[in-house]
C-alpha cells in the first residue's frame, strides 16, 4: 500500500500566513487524499483544531518537544537517539548517494524518513534503493530533494521499486518533490487513485500564491495556468479531433480547461474554430487570408493574439 | 572515461511553437548564434512550411552557423520537405506519428500508409543528399513492435538516427530506459530522446534515456515548449555532468540561458519561465 505524506504545512513558517489562510489551505489539501499531513508547530498553533478527517504528523525539534503536543498520529524530528517511541519518525538527511552507507547505524529504527538524495537519478538509483532497503529494517519514507530537478522521478521510482512511503509538498515548496506531480505520475503509472479531488488545485494554488507571495510559473506541471493552451496548427487540429492525442490527462481533472490560442504557428483548423467560437461566419478564401494576417500580427506583436486582436483582423478583411 | 552525449536544442522549434512565443528573424538568428557559440551539437531551428518569413529566417541561421548542425522540422509530407530544401539545412528531420491514436484518430490513416509515406518522404530527402533523422511522435504510447519495424526499415535506407518523442510527457525513468534500450539493442539505430515535462520528469527521463544508450538529448532553453515544456537545457546539463560528457558546460549553459532569457521572457504576461519548479 502506497502512503503519501503532504509536507506543505510544515514548509510555510517563513511566510506570514494568517491562521484563517492556513485553516483553509489545510482543508483544501485534505481533499487531495494524501495519507498524512505534516505540520510545523507554528502552523499547528495557528490552525488550532485540526479537521477530523485527516491524519497528522507534527514536525518537532526532538522527542521531548513532541510530548507537549499530544494527540498526533506521528511525530517527526531529526535523529535524537537510537531508541525512540514507536510513533516517532526519525528524519535522516542523506545529501548524496555516497552517504547511503552511513544509514547502517540506523538499522534498528522502526520509522525512518530519508531526506535528500538529490543526485540519486544521476547514478545507478536502483542499486542505491536496494542498499537503502538493506541498511534499514524498519519502515522507510523517502523525501527526495530537488537540486537536480529529479525529485518527482525519485519519489515515483522509489514506489515502483517497492518502497511504500514518500513525502512531497505542494508546488515543491521547500525544494521537495511537487506533490501534484507525484500524485498524477502515480495515477498514470500505477492507477493509484486515492479518494481525491484534484479539481481543487486552482484554489490551492491561489491561496498558496497569496501566502507565499510567489507566482507559480504558467507552465508548471499539473498546476500552471497555461498548460492547456494550444496554438501550433498540428496540435490544435489534433486536439479538436480528440484531446487525448495531445493531452496527457483531461484538464477538468485538475480543475482547468483547454484554450485555443492563435499565433505564428496556427493553422487553418484553429482559425475556423476560433471563428466558430466567436460566432463569425467566413468563406474558405477569407480563412486563408486571415491565417496569413494572424501569423503576421503575431510576429509583429511577438506573442499570441487575443480574441480582440483577432476580431480586428476579421473586421479588416 | 564518461560517455559523450550530444545536445539537440529545439528552443527555436518546439520551444517557439508553444503559445505565447512568436520570435522575429533577428531574435531567432541571435539565439541560434548563442547556442552555436556555446558548443551545442545541433540546433533544430524551425519549421520551413510555416511561411516564407520562417524560411528566410532558417536560411540565415544555416548561412551564419559555425560548428553546430542546423536541422529543420517537417511533417510527414513531401510538399513540406521540398520547402526545407530551400533553407539549406544540415539535417532534415521528418516527424512520423507512430501511436495508434495519432495514426487512426488524428490522421485517419493506417500503419501501411505510415510505412509507405515515411519511406517516400525519407527517400526524397536522402536523394537530395541530406542527412535525415526521423522523429517517432508519441512513441511513449506506441506499439513497440511497430516502432521496431519502422526503425529497421529506416536503418536499411541509411537513416542512422531516430527521435523517441514522449509527446505527452507520460513516461517514467524506468519505462524510458526499457523503451530506449530495446530500440537500440534490437535495431542498432541511434536514438535521440525528446522529453516533455507534463509530470515534472523530463530531466530524469532524459537521463534514463542517456543511460540506456541514447546518444542525443533534446532540450530547450528555460524548458519552454508545448504545455509544460521540454527538457530544460541548463537543468539537464547540471544533472548529467555526473555521468556524461556534454557540451556546453554548465557555466556556458548558464550564460546562454541568461542571454536568451532577455529575448524569450520579455514582459509576456502569464508566459514567464523565470524558474522551472
Summarised one tens digit per residue, pLDDT across range B159-178 is 999 999 999 999 999 999 99
Residues A195 and A270 in one domain: no
Domain of residue A304 covers: 229-316
Q: What is the mean pLDDT of residues A141-157?
A: 98
CB contact under 8 A, B200 and A221: yes
* pLDDT exceeds 70 at position A17: yes
- Interval A119-133 mean pLDDT: 96
| Residue A221 in domain | no
Residue in chain B closest to A227 (alpha carbons) equals B227
Which B positions 110-139 lie with beta carbon below 8 A of chain A?
Answer: 138
| E strand or H helix that includes residue A118 | none
Number of structural domains found in chain A = 2
Give the bridge partners for A39, in sequence order.
A58
Q: Please, what is the average pLDDT of chain A? A: 93
Q: Do residues A173 and A248 share a domain?
A: no
pLDDT for A116 beyond 60 = yes
> Are both A154 and A281 inside the same structural domain?
no
Average pLDDT over residues A40-51: 97
In the predicted structure, residue B231 carries a pLDDT above the cut 90: yes
Left, alpha or beta for A279 (phi > 0: left; psi -120 to 50: alpha)? left
Q: How many distinct structural domains can be found in chain B?
A: 1
Check CB contact under 8 Å for A219 and B17: no
Taking the Cβ of residue A221 and every Cβ of chain B, the question of whether any pair is shorter than 8 Å is answered with yes
Grid coordinates given for A48 = 488550532
Write out chain A residues lying below 8 Å of B26, CB-based.
none
Over residues B126-171, the pLDDT tens digits come to 999 999 999 999 999 999 999 999 999 999 999 999 999 999 999 9
CA distance A61 to chain B (A): 28
Q: Is residue A205 situated within a structural domain?
A: yes
Alpha helices in A136-200 (DSSP H): 151-161, 179-190
Mean pLDDT confidence for A254-259? 94
End-to-end CA distance of chain B: 32
Contact A52, A90 (CB under 8 A): no
Q: pLDDT category, A82, cuts 50, 70, 90?
A: low
Q: Confirm if A47 and A72 have CB atoms less than 8 A apart.
A: no
At residue A214, the pLDDT reads 94
Angle value at C-alpha A79, between A74 and A82, nearest 5 degrees: 95
Average confidence score pLDDT of chain B = 94
User: What pLDDT score does B26 carry?
Assistant: 96
Lowest mean pLDDT of A3-17, A189-203, B56-70, B172-186, name the range: A189-203
Chain B partners within 8 Å of A248 (Cβ)? 168-170, 198-199, 227
A256 and A207 in a single domain? The answer is no
Nearest CB partner across the interface for B270, out of A156, A225, A295: A225
Confidence of residue A269 (pLDDT cuts 50, 70, 90): confident
The sign of the dihedral angle between the CA atoms of A173, A176, A179, A180 is positive
| pLDDT reported for residue B246 | 98
Question: pLDDT band for position B272 (50/70/90)?
Answer: very low
In a domain, B270, yes or no: no
B199 shares contact with chain A (CB less than 8 Å): yes
State the nearest Cα–Cα gap between B14 and chain A, in angstroms.
10
Integer-rounded Cα Rg, in Å, for chain B is: 17
Contact A192, A140 (CB under 8 A): no
Q: Is residue A140 part of a domain?
A: yes
Task: Give the model's pLDDT for residue A273.
Answer: 87
B167/A153 Cβ within 8 A:
no
Q: Largest Cα–Cα distance of chain B, in whole Å?
A: 49
Identify the band that residue B274 occupies on the pLDDT scale cut at 50, 70 and 90: very low
Instruction: Give residues 63 to 102 of B whose Cβ lies within 8 Å of A.
Output: 75, 101-102
Q: What is the mean pLDDT of residues A84-91?
A: 84
| A12 lies in some domain | yes
Residue B223: inside a domain, yes or no? yes
Give the pLDDT of residue B107: 94
Angle between helices A284-301 and A307-316 (to 10 degrees): 130
CB < 8 Å from B in window 263-302 of A: 263-265, 292, 295, 298-299, 301-302
Looking at residue B98, its pLDDT comes to 98
Q: How far apart are CA A223 and CA A214, in angstroms?
A: 14
Mean pLDDT, rounded, for B15-38? 94
Q: What is the domain range of residue B198? A: 3-264
How far apart, in whole angstroms, are the C-alpha atoms of residue B219 and residue B40? 10
Look at residue A38 and tell me if it is in a domain. Answer: yes
What residues of B are in contact with residue A226 (Cβ under 8 Å)?
19-20, 270-271
- pLDDT classification of B277: cutoffs 50, 70, 90: very low
Q: Provide the pLDDT for residue A83.
A: 65
Sign of the alpha-carbon dihedral angle for A115, A12, A251, A234: negative
Which residues, including other chains, have CB under 8 Å from residue A53's CB and lie 6 or more apart? Answer: A30
pLDDT in tens, B181-218: 999 999 999 999 999 999 999 999 999 999 999 999 99
Judge whether residue A310 has pLDDT over 60. Answer: yes
Percent of chain A with pLDDT over 90: 73
Q: Which three cell numbers stand for residue A2?
A: 502506497
Residue A128: Cβ within 10 Å count: 20
Q: Take residue A268 and report the three cell numbers written for it.
A: 487553418
Q: Is the per-residue pLDDT at B273 higher than 50?
A: no
- Answer yes or no: is B88 within a domain: yes
C-alpha–C-alpha distance, residues B27 and A317, integer Å: 29
Q: What nine digits make up the cell of A174?
A: 521547500
Return phi, psi of residue B113, to 5°.
-60, -45
Specify the CATH number for the domain of residue B256: 3.20.20.70
For this complex, say whether ipTM is above 0.90: yes
**pLDDT band, very low/low/confident/very high, at A237 (cuts 50, 70, 90):** confident
Q: Are B50 and A264 an interchain contact pair (Cβ–Cβ within 8 Å)?
A: yes
Q: Chain B partners of A150 at a C-beta cutoff of 8 Å? A: 201, 203-204, 207, 239
Mean pLDDT confidence for B222-249: 96
B254 contacts: CB under 8 Å, gap ≥ 6:
B234
Let me know whether A74 and A145 are in one domain: yes
Rounded to two decimals, the pTM is 0.95
pLDDT at B202: 98
Chains A & B: contacts with CB separation below 8 Å: 190
Q: Which residues of A touch B169 (CB under 8 A)?
A: 221, 248
Residue A285 pLDDT exceeds 90: no
Our CA angle for B182, B199, B150, nearest 5°, is: 30
Question: Which pLDDT band, with edges at 50, 70 and 90, does A232 fall under?
Answer: confident
Amino acid at each position: 500500500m502506497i502512503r503519501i505524506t503532504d509536507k506543505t504545512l510544515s514548509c510555510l513558517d517563513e511566510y506570514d500566513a494568517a491562521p484563517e489562510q492556513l485553516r483553509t489551505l489545510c482543508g483544501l489539501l485534505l481533499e487531495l487524499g494524501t495519507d498524512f499531513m505534516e505540520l510545523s508547530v507554528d502552523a499547528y498553533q495557528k490552525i488550532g483544531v485540526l479537521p477530523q478527517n485527516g491524519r497528522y504528523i507534527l514536525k518537532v525539534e526532538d522527542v521531548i518537544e513532541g510530548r507537549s503536543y499530544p494527540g498526533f498520529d506521528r511525530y517527526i524530528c531529526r535523529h535524537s537517539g537510537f531508541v525512540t517511541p514507536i510513533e516517532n519518525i526519525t528524519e535522516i538527511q542523506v545529501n548524496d548517494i555516497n552517504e547511503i552507507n552511513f544509514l547502517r547505524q540506523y538499522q534498528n529504527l522502526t520509522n525512518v524518513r530519508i531526506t535528500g538524495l538529490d543526485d540519486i537519478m544521476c547514478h545507478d538509483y536502483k542499486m542505491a534503493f536496494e542498499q537503502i532497503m538493506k541498511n534499514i529494517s524498519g519502515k522507510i519514507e523517502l523525501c527526495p530533494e530537488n537540486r537536480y530537478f529529479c525529485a518527482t522521478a525519485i519519489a515515483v521510482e522509489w514506489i515502483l521499486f517497492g518502497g511504500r512511503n514518500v513525502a512531497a509538498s505542494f508546488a515543491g515548496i521547500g525544494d521537495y518533490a511537487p506533490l501534484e506531480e507525484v500524485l498524477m505520475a502515480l495515477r498514470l503509472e500505477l492507477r493509484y487513485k486515492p479518494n481525491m479531488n484534484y479539481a481543487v488545485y486552482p484554489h490551492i494554488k491561489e491561496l498558496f500564491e497569496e501566502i507565499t507571495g510567489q507566482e507559480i510559473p504558467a507552465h508548471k506541471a499539473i498546476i500552471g495556468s497555461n498548460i492547456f493552451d494550444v496554438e501550433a496548427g498540428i496540435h490544435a487540429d489534433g486536439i479538436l479531433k480528440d484531446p487525448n492525442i495531445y493531452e496527457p490527462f483531461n484538464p477538468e481533472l485538475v480543475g482547468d480547461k483547454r484554450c485555443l490560442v492563435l499565433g505564428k504557428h496556427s493553422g487553418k483548423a484553429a482559425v475556423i474554430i476560433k471563428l466558430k467560437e466567436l460566432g463569425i461566419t467566413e468563406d474558405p478564401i477569407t480563412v486563408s487570408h486571415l491565417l496569413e494576417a494572424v501569423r503576421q500580427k503575431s510576429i509583429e506583436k511577438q506573442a499570441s493574439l487575443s480574441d480582440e486582436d483577432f476580431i480586428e483582423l476579421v473586421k479588416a478583411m | 572515461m564518461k560517455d559523450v552525449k550530444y545536445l539537440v536544442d529545439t528552443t527555436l522549434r518546439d520551444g517557439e511553437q508553444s503559445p505565447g512565443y512568436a520570435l522575429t528573424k533577428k531574435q531567432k538568428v541571435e539565439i541560434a548564434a548563442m547556442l552555436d557559440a556555446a558548443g551545442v551539437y545541433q540546433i533544430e531551428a524551425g519549421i520551413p512550411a510555416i511561411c516564407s518569413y520562417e524560411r528566410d529566417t532558417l536560411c540565415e541561421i544555416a548561412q551564419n552557423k559555425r560548428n553546430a548542425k542546423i536541422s529543420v522540422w517537417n511533417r510527414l509530407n513531401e510538399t513540406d520537405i521540398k520547402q526545407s530544401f530551400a533553407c539549406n539545412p544540415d539535417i532534415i528531420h521528418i516527424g512520423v506519428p507512430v501511436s495508434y491514436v495519432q495514426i487512426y484518430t488524428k490522421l485517419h490513416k493506417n500503419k501501411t500508409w505510415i510505412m509507405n509515406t515515411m519511406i517516400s518522404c525519407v527517400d526524397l530527402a536522402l536523394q537530395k543528399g541530406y542527412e535525415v533523422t526521423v522523429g517517432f511522435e508519441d512513441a511513449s504510447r506506441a506499439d513497440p513492435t511497430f516502432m521496431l519495424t519502422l526503425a529497421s526499415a529506416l536503418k536499411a535506407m541509411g537513416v542512422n538516427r531516430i527521435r523517441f518523442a514522449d509527446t505527452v510527457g507520460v513516461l517514467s525513468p524506468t519505462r524510458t530506459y526499457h523503451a530506449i534500450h530495446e530500440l537500440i539493442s534490437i535495431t542498432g539505430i541511434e536514438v535521440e530522446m525528446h522529453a516533455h515535462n507534463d509530470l515534472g520528469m523530463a530531466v530524469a527521463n532524459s537521463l534514463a534515456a542517456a543511460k540506456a544508450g541514447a546518444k542525443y538529448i533534446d532540450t530547450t532553453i528555460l524548458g519552454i515548449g508545448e504545455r509544460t515544456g521540454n527538457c530544460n537545457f541548463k537543468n539537464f546539463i547540471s544533472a548529467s555532468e555526473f555521468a556524461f560528457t556534454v557540451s556546453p558546460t554548465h557555466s556556458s549553459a548558464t550564460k546562454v540561458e541568461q542571454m536568451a532569457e532577455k529575448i524569450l521572457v520579455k514582459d509576456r504576461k502569464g508566459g514567464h519561465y523565470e524558474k522551472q519548479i
